[in-house]
Chains A and B, each alone.
Chain A
């Protein structure tokens, strides 16, 4: 069943066709990878769907409802969450508070002015449980700004996950971390996402990571979708090999 469907989705930045009449479908429960070289339009596509930037033309339908002009807040309420390529955290809040805030917000509790946040045992317990799932339980009291890059990447995803989304976009969850850290990070993320029954779209450059963790891969090139298939189909796709995989081998 289709969870998300974009029709002729378009975004131009001047002469640059960042996303050019893209028809993109995400099926409920899948973990799919969005690949492409720099400037292919992957992040712009995510930015459009998540509401960070406005759509020029086309439509975005999520769970049967037109969300093309929805605000970020409305999209989150519908169950669309995301992490960021450059880690976006609340650096002066503790790791636990980063998560607690997402939970408070999800439950509509951030409007409460006259109740101490620490007094909400249920939220604290849930935040600790999410930290444990992401292997960050030992860092609960640390400021998010003091975490290592790998831990920050995990926390970035954990904050989005704590919103209990139906569709989660992960923008390069292993960028900027060492090769050694990539597999453990992806193991944790995919395990948590699958256990939570969350549909996930992972933007990733590292093809080893993509082929290992994502049963479906969508390849973008110059704002359009170049190919869509299983890892084997993508590996054997000549256009992808010429435009993406070949490029990567040279890089």
Chain B
């Protein structure tokens, strides 16, 4: 077995304490806070998937609500029509459905770049939204589909156990494990030869072709992986939310995924994770604080783009670099 490369040791060392803090959190904070964090971690998985396209391949998708929604609806359909309650099988359904849709949509989209790519992804996501909206006898229309609490590794919610308690403990840990696994897998992907090829395509498509990288094929695989990650997030989100509606397929949610990533910093691996968690808190705070919450978030976004173009993690990286350069007193 090859030893862990030097470049991987530091992130691993940094991730350990963070995961430890996340693991003990449900025992020190209110259940509501833990559930809120679960949402943040779920969105972080979606943002990681999204950023494989934006940060690593140079493609800005405005249609990632499609894969999140497909993951969510796949779970809801599997529960409703196949009477499945195992979360593992539901996740599998979400992954397979989002992979299928991403594979098809990717074939159409990856031959284009820039605004054409963005508009195509947006248009395709809106097709799915209209299907979910109009085929109400299948999808429940605007009422959506309810999803009861699933079994986790064969263990169901205890008799008389409070749902909030279940979500804040058992389900939180389930989400945390999937999040850690998804993050590790994405870390390996972006640091693999395949990940380097994606970054090469992002930097210089023509040259990438001239070192033998078949650009559209790599873009398609990246699109597929990105869609699967986002679909996995959608599948994890439904039991938390208890319900899925067409709202999750609307372009506004695609915009929120872009927001997570820009807020955290799309040029860093951890940026989308931080952005998703922070955005989730920001939005929850804003919604509870003012009816003008959209305006509040808009102001945050504008400020962010103007003042912190590299996002939160970009700024952190810059400050860390400065402090390393500063001479000791």
Q: Which residues of A contact B (CB under 8 A)?
A: 50, 52, 72-73, 76-77, 81-82, 84, 88-93, 97, 100-102, 104-106, 109-121, 159-160, 163
Contact A101 B196 (CB under 8 A): yes
Give the CA-CA distance A101 to B88 in the complex, in Å. Answer: 37
Q: CB of B16 within 8 A of chain A?
A: no
Segment among B165-173, B197-205, B245-253, B309-317 that sits at the interface with chain A: B197-205
5 A-B contacts, Cβ less than 8 Å apart? A52-B206, A92-B199, A114-B185, A114-B188, A116-B5
Contact B8 A101 (CB under 8 A): no
Give the CA-CA distance A88 to B204 in the complex, in Å. Answer: 7
Please, which residues of chain B bring their CB within 8 A of the CB of A90?
199-200, 203-204, 207-208
Task: Please count the residue pairs between chain A and chain B whose beta carbons lie under 8 angstroms apart in the complex.
Answer: 109
Please, which residues of chain A bring their CB within 8 A of the CB of B5?
116, 118-119
Q: Which residues of B contact A (CB under 8 A)?
A: 2-3, 5-8, 185, 188-189, 191-197, 199-200, 202-204, 206-214, 218, 221, 225
Contact B194 A89 (CB under 8 A): no
In the complex, what residue of chain A is closest to B1 when comparing beta carbons?
Answer: A119
Q: Known A100-B196, A110-B196, A117-B196; judge A82-B204 contact (CB<8 A).
A: no
Give the CA-CA distance A202 to B185 in the complex, in Å. Answer: 44
Give the CA-CA distance A52 to B3 in the complex, in Å. Answer: 41
Contact B197 A110 (CB under 8 A): yes
Give the CA-CA distance A160 to B189 in the complex, in Å. Answer: 25
Please, which residues of chain B bring their CB within 8 A of the CB of A101?
193, 196-197, 200, 211, 213
Contact B206 A114 (CB under 8 A): no
In the complex, what residue of chain A is closest to B206 when comparing beta carbons?
Answer: A88
Contact A111 B212 (CB under 8 A): no
Q: Known A90-B203, A93-B203, A118-B7; judge A77-B196 contact (CB<8 A).
A: no
Please, which residues of chain A bring their CB within 8 A of the CB of B191?
116-118
Residue from the set B195, B204, B221 with the largest chain A CB neighbour count within 10 Å: B204
Residue from the set B192, B206, B213 with the largest chain A CB neighbour count within 10 Å: B192
Give the CA-CA distance A205 to B265 in the complex, in Å. Answer: 44
CB distance from B267 to the nearest CB of A (A): 8
Residue from the set A77, A110, A117, A163 with the largest chain B CB neighbour count within 10 Å: A110
Please, which residues of chain B bring their CB within 8 A of the CB of A73?
209, 212, 214
Q: Known A90-B203, A113-B189; judge A97-B209 contact (CB<8 A).
A: no
Contact B192 A89 (CB under 8 A): no
